[in-house]
Structure 1
Amino acid sequence: MPRIKENEFFTVMVEFEVDPTYQQALIDGIADQVEQHFTHFTGFVSASFHASENGSRVVNYGQWLSKEAWESSSPATGFDIAKASIAEVIKRCGARTVEVDTFQVTRVIEKT
Structure 2
Amino acid sequence: MVTIDENRFFTVMVEFEVEPQFQQVLIDGITDQVDQYFPHFTGFVSASFHASDDGRRVVNYGQWRSKESWMRSSSATGLDIAKESIAEVIKRCGARTAKVDFFQVARVIEG
What range describes the TM-score normalised by the shorter chain of this pair? over 0.9
**Conservation of the 8 A alpha-carbon contact between 1:13 and 1:60:** yes
Matched, 1:60 2:60: yes
Q: Give the Å deviation of 1:73.
A: 1.1
Aligned residue runs from structure 1 range 18-97, under 5 A: 18-97=18-97
Query: 1:3-57 CA deviation, whole Å, 9 max, x = no partner?
Result: 2110111101010000000000000000000001111111101000000000000
Q: Give the Å deviation of 1:78.
A: 1.6
Q: Give the Å deviation of 1:75.
A: 3.8
Number of equivalences: 111
**Conservation of the 8 A alpha-carbon contact between 2:41 and 2:76:** no
Q: CA RMSD in A?
A: 1.1
* Aligned AA (1:71): M
Q: 1:45 to 1:76 in 2, by over 3 A?
A: closer
Q: Percent identity?
A: 76
**Conservation of the 8 A alpha-carbon contact between 2:14 and 2:97:** no
**Conservation of the 8 A alpha-carbon contact between 2:9 and 2:64:** yes
Q: Give the Å deviation of 1:98.
A: 3.5
Q: 1:98 to 1:83 in 2, by over 3 A?
A: farther
Matches of 1:15 and 1:101, distance apart in 2 = 9
After superposing on structure 2, the runs of 4+ consecutive aligned residues of structure 1 that deviate more than 2 Å are: 74-77
Q: TM-score, normalised by structure 1?
A: 0.93
Q: 1:75 to 1:19 in 2, by over 3 A?
A: same
Structure 1 regions of 5+ residues with no counterpart? Answer: none
